[in-house]
């Protein structure tokens, strides 16, 4: 039995519609292996790479590591206790444009009806039903603008982290496979490693029977099975 570690976003965890139907994400089809899937909805490439390295440093038994990259504008921010909002303890917050997500708490920027997101007209939710004052908007806007405009630096950072993970896995004897949500998630990373698979959006397509709908490109049950079969064939090449 192989120890397989997976980290990515909802393309690897399974979108909420899929989970709501008791569907299984592609890592769950490795039924003859011991699989740890640390993927998170809204997770960033930074989180995937950080968690992969963290698990290795924790001496988690890993034979195969599958690291899924996602939208390059996503990121994560480490918030100290009582910074911005009343967190009970320091934690990483996964960042997407216009919202922050945490594994157990969700802090989401909600657009108020009739207002544009670029205006200072949002409210923030720490936990369901709890609002946070708009005075924090300008601080979040700094993160938002940085994530959207500083793409070249972010790309270079991702390339460096990918290379670090590659070297770490080689040193530990771990087989490493990189995959990605779409082609735009790996613009200039492929040259550092031969272990990059075809992007998931290419496997399932952007229309047809393997995605949730015409407006939701997340893989459905058939799509996750197709991704699993493709990943399995790629692992056999390692």
In angstroms, the CA 44 to CA 69 distance is: 7
Region 162-176: mean pLDDT is 94
The mean pLDDT value of the chain amounts to 75
Tens-place pLDDT, residues 38-77: 998 888 888 899 999 999 999 999 999 999 998 877 777 6
The domains found in the chain, sorted by start residue, are 3-73+151-235 (3.40.50.1110), 75-149 (no CATH)
Predicted model pTM? 0.77
Asked whether the predicted pLDDT for residue 177 surpasses 70, the reply is yes
Tens-place pLDDT, residues 191-223: 565 567 888 888 888 778 887 777 777 888 888
Angle, in degrees to the nearest 10, between helices 137-149 and 151-172: 80
Give the per-residue pLDDT at 44.
87
Give the per-residue pLDDT at 126.
43
Buried b (16+ CB within 10 A) or exposed e, 129-158: eeebeeebbeebbebbeebeeeeeebbebb
Asked whether the predicted pLDDT for residue 134 surpasses 60, the reply is no
């Amino acid at each position: 039995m192989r120890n397989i570690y997976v980290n990515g976003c909802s393309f690897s965890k399974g979108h909420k519609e899929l989970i709501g139907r008791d569907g299984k994400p592609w890592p769950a089809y490795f039924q003859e292996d011991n699989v740890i899937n640390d993927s998170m909805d809204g997770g960033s490439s930074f989180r995937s790479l950080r968690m992969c390295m963290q698990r290795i440093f924790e001496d988690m038994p890993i034979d195969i590591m599958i690291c899924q990259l996602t939208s390059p504008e996503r990121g994560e921010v480490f918030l100290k206790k009582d910074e911005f909002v009343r967190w009970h303890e320091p934690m990483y917050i996964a960042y997407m444009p216009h919202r922050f997500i945490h594994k157990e708490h969700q802090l989401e920027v909600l657009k108020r009806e009739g207002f544009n997101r670029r205006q200072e007209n949002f409210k923030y939710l720490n936990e369901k039903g709890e609002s946070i004052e708009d005075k924090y908007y300008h601080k979040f806007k700094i993160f938002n603008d940085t994530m959207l405009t500083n793409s070249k630096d972010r790309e270079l950072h991702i390339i460096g982290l990918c290379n670090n993970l590659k070297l770490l896995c080689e040193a530990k004897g771990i087989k490493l496979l990189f995959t990605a949500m779409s082609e735009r998630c790996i613009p200039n990373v492929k040259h550092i490693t031969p272990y990059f698979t075809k992007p998931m959006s290419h496997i399932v397509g952007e229309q047809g029977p393997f995605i949730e709908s015409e407006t939701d490109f997340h893989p459905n049950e058939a799509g996750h099975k197709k991704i699993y079969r493709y990943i399995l064939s790629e692992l056999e090449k390692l």
